[in-house]
Structure 1
C-alpha cells in the first residue's frame, strides 16, 4: 500500500529473464510478464488418447508462473513494482484478481497491459520519474467461516463429500453454492445410504491465509477427520464431488489486434475423474452442454486445479468440475452482462444429482484406486515447464 499520496521515484526496467531487483533499489521496478500458451498435457492427463498439440491459455497460468517475485523485490529495497502484461488483450487483463495464491508481500504492485504497458516500459527504459498510487486498507485477523452440514444416511460410517467454495470474483467463479443447494434439497427428499457432507469452504481466494498446504478445503479436512478419514471412530469418505464454475460461457481473444469478447456458447468443461472407475461412472451420466468438448480428464502430472485437489491428495475418489475461461478470476460488476449459460448450468447440476445417486449406490471397492502421479512423470513435466517458462521470458 502507498496511502493516498502514493510514492514518487524513478522507474527502472528489470529484465524478466534473470531479474536483478537490486538495480531498482529505491526505485519503482518495471518488469514484463508474457501471457503464454501451455501444452495441455502438462496440466491435465487424459483417460483416452492424448492430443499432444493442444494448448491451454489462461491469465491464472501466466500470472502465477511468470509474475514478479515480490518478496525478492521488497528484500532488495524496491519501493514498488509495475508488471507489464504482454500479449494479452487489455479487456482480458481488466480486473484480473491475480495471482491469488500468494501471501501479502508488503510492497505496492500493479499490473498494466496494452498501450499503457508500452508507455510504462518506454518510460522505464529512459529512467523517467513516476508516481505510483495503490491506496488500500488492511483488515488483520479478519475471520471468515466455512459453512458445512450433513444429510445423515442409513449407514453413517461412510460419507460422500460435496465441496465448493464460498468466495469468488464474479458469477461464474462463485456459483458452486447453487449446485450445492440443489443437491441438498435432493438429499433431504429421500433416504440415502451414505451420509452426505456439504462443505462451502472459505478462503479459496486467500489460500495462504487459511491453508498450510493445498487448496482451502484442506483446512476443513484436517479439522474434521471424523467425517472422512476412516480411522477408529471415524467415518470413511468413499467418494467426493467438487462443484465450481457452473454454466461458464466461453471467451475469445485475438492478441494481434488486442480484442477480447464473450462467446454465446459454453466454455469446454474441465471435468476431473480421479480414478478409471469413477470415469466410467461419470461418462454415461454426464450431459452434453454443447461446449464441443466432453472429455473427462485425470489430474495432470504437476497439478489438480480447484477445490477437488484436497480430495485427490487424500486419495478420495472424486469428480470435480473446474471449468476455467480466461475471465474466471476477473472482477466483474453485478450490472455487466452475465457470463453464465443457465441451460448449461441446469444440465450440469442435473448431472451432479445423478452422480450423487450413482455414488450412493456404488460399492466402496468399485470406486477404484485414485490415479497416482509417478516421480518420473512429475520430474519430466516440471522440466518441460521450466524450459517453456525460460523461453517465454526472453
Structure 2
C-alpha cells in the first residue's frame, strides 16, 4: 500500500538559515509550484508502462534497452522542442553486447538450483575502443567512442563456451583477487564461497561525514544505514579471468551470509569485464593470445553447502551450462538542452540533471522517468524566468561491463557545456522500499522492513576528495537540507567518502555535485516483475519533488557559492 503523503514539517537544521539567505535573491520562478508537477498516480502509470512495455530488464544494448532509449528521446523531444530546446544522441557503434539466454547446473541427471549467472563470464571481445571526439559545438552531438566491427582476424568475437563437464574441486573462500589458487581446479569445475560482507567492507560509514539524516521530516533520528548488500560485490568481484587462465572449465560461486530470496537473480558484479584472459577492456587485446571466458554461476548458501558436502572432491561429473550471445550493436546517450534566460550569450551558465538508462530492473534505472517529469516541470517555466540553462542527460553504459564510460563519456564529449556548468544533480533508483534479511527461527528471511529505503545523498565537498570523510560544500548542503524538509523521504546526507553512481564523474571533474542514490539490496536483481512490487508511488513522487526543489535553488545560487 502507498504510504500517505505528509504535511510540511517545520523542523529546521543548522544549515537552513543559509538557504533562506540564498532565496532572498531568488527569481520569480524559484518557488515550487505543485500544480506544475504531474500527480503521483500519473508518474506511477508511466513506471508501470515502461516496466510492462519494455520488459522487466533493460541491460545495455539489448533490445528492450534500445526501445526504452528511443522512448526517452521521443518524450524528451516532445517536452523540450516546443519551448525552444533541442535533443541529441551520442551514439556508440558496435558495442559488444553480451546476453545470457539459458543456464543450469546438474549432476548425475539431477538439476541443482541456481540463483543467477555471473555476468560477462564466458566468451570475449578483443577490439580496442575508438577515440571519443568532442562535440563541434555546444549544441551538437559527440561522436566516436564506439568499437570496430569484428573481422575474425584483427578484431575477434570469441564465442561463449556453453558448458563444461568435470568433477568439482572446493577452492575455499574468496577474499580478494589472488586469494584463490585456481590452478588446483585446472581441467575441473571450481567451487568458491563468496561472503556477502566482502564487498561491504569497502563502503562503510567511517569514510563519510554524515551531515544529517531525514526520515519523514524528522531530522537526525537515525544513523547512516549500510547493511551487507550483494550489490557491493562490484567492489571486489571474483577474478574469473584468472580461473580462465588456469584452465578451469567452470566456476560455481556460493553466496555466504544472505538468504535464498536475497540471492535470487542478483546480477552481480555488474561492472566485471569479459572474463577472458586477458580480461576484456577498452584497450583491447591480441586476438591470437586471448582465451575466451568460462561459464560461472551463483548458488545460494544452502545449495553451496550441499555442493561442498556431496560433490566436491568426489568423482561425480557435474555439468555447468551457460548459453550466451555476443552481438555488436549501437547504443546511445540521450540528452537535451532547455535554454535559460542567457542561452547563447557569454553570460550563460549550465546546470546538469543526469541519470542512466540501462539496468536489470525498474528500481535500478527509473531515473530516466523521473528526469522526464523534472524536465516537464521546468519547461513550463518561461525562459526569461530560468536564470540558467539546464542539460538533461540519460547516459547509456552503466551496465556495459566497463566497455563504455557512461556519464564520463558525456563529460569528455561536451567540453563547451562542462566549462560553463556550475553544478550537477544526479538522480537514480527512486521510490524504493527497504528490504533486508531478517533472522527468523528457520534462518534468514528476505522481507520488507516496513520502512522506505534510506537514500544516500552525496554532496561534493570543496576539495573534491575521495575515500575519506570531508565537510560538505555549505551552499549545496543548505540546498539539500531545504529541499528535504517536509518530504516523506528517508535520506542520509553525506560528504567525503566514495561519490558513487553517475554523479561520480562530475565530482571527479571538479563540478559541484549532488548525487541522490538509494542502494536497496535488490538494486541489481533480475526479477519477473522487474522489482516493481518493491517500489512506492508516493516515495517516487517525493523524490521527484526533491529534485525539482534542488534545481530551483541551484538556479538562483551564485556560482561562487556553489563552488564553496
Decide: shared fold, TM above 0.5.
Answer: yes
- Structure 1 spans left out of the alignment, 5+ residues: 231-235, 370-394
Q: 2:393 aligns with which of 189, 199, 207?
A: 199
Q: TM-score, normalised by structure 1?
A: 0.84
Question: Cα offset for 1:126?
Answer: 3.5
Runs of 5+ in structure 2 lacking a partner? 1-121, 124-159, 214-219, 276-292, 461-472
CA contact (8 A) 1:266 1:289 kept: no
Residue 22 of structure 1 deviates from its aligned partner by 0.6
Tell me by how many angstroms 1:201 deviates.
Answer: 0.2
When residues 336 and 148 of structure 1 are mapped into structure 2, their CA distance, relative to the original with a 3 A threshold, is closer
C-alpha change, 1:220 and 1:340, in structure 2 (3 Å) is: same
Secondary structure of the residue aligned to 1:308 is helix
Written as runs of structure 1 = structure 2, the 5 A alignment for 1:151-230 is 151-156=338-343, 157-190=348-381, 191=383, 192-211=386-405, 216-228=406-418, 230=419
Distance 1:5 1:72 in 2: 19
> Displacement, 1:87?
1.1
How far 1:46 moved relative to its partner? Answer: 2.2
Distance 1:64 1:8, change over 3 A: same
SS in 2 for 1:193: coil
Measure the CA separation in 2 of the matches of 1:87 and 1:335: 24
**In structure 2, how many angstroms separate the alpha carbons of the residues matched to 1:151 and 1:220?**
17
In the aligned structure 2, how far is the partner of 1:284 from the partner of 1:176?
A: 22
SS of the aligned residue for 1:57 comes to: coil
* Structure 1 residue 264, shift from structure 2 partner: 3.8
- Residue 98 in structure 1 maps to residue 268 in structure 2: yes
- The answer to whether the 8 A contact 1:160-1:239 is kept is yes
1:304 is displaced (CA, Å) by 1.7
User: For the residues of structure 1 that align with 2:295 and 2:172, how far apart are their CA atoms?
Assistant: 19
3-state SS of 1:283 partner: helix
Q: Could you tell me whether the CA contact under 8 Å between 2:360 and 2:530 is conserved in 1?
A: no
- 1:134 is paired with a residue whose SS is strand
Residues 226-241 of structure 1: pairs in structure 2 closer than 5 A: 226-228=416-418, 230=419, 236-241=420-425
Larger radius of gyration: 2
Residue by residue, what CA displacement relative to the aligned partner does 1:261-285 show, whole Å, maximum 9, x if unpaired?
1344311111111123201121012
TM-score normalised by length of structure 2: 0.59
Could you say what the CA RMSD is over the residues aligned between the two structures, in angstroms? 2.4
Paired residue for 1:10?
167
The structure whose RCO (Cα within 8 Å, separation 6+) is larger is 2
> Secondary structure at 2:324's aligned position in 1?
coil
Q: Secondary structure at the match of 2:377?
A: helix
CA gap of 1:52–1:262, structure 2 versus 1, over 3 A, is closer
Equivalent of 1:308 in 495, 500, 503: 503
1:233 matched to which residue of 2?
Answer: none
Partner of 1:387: none
Number of aligned residue pairs:
354
Q: Deviations over 1:181-209 (max 9, x none)?
A: 11111221112121100100001111511
The answer for the alignment partner of 1:364 in structure 2 is 559
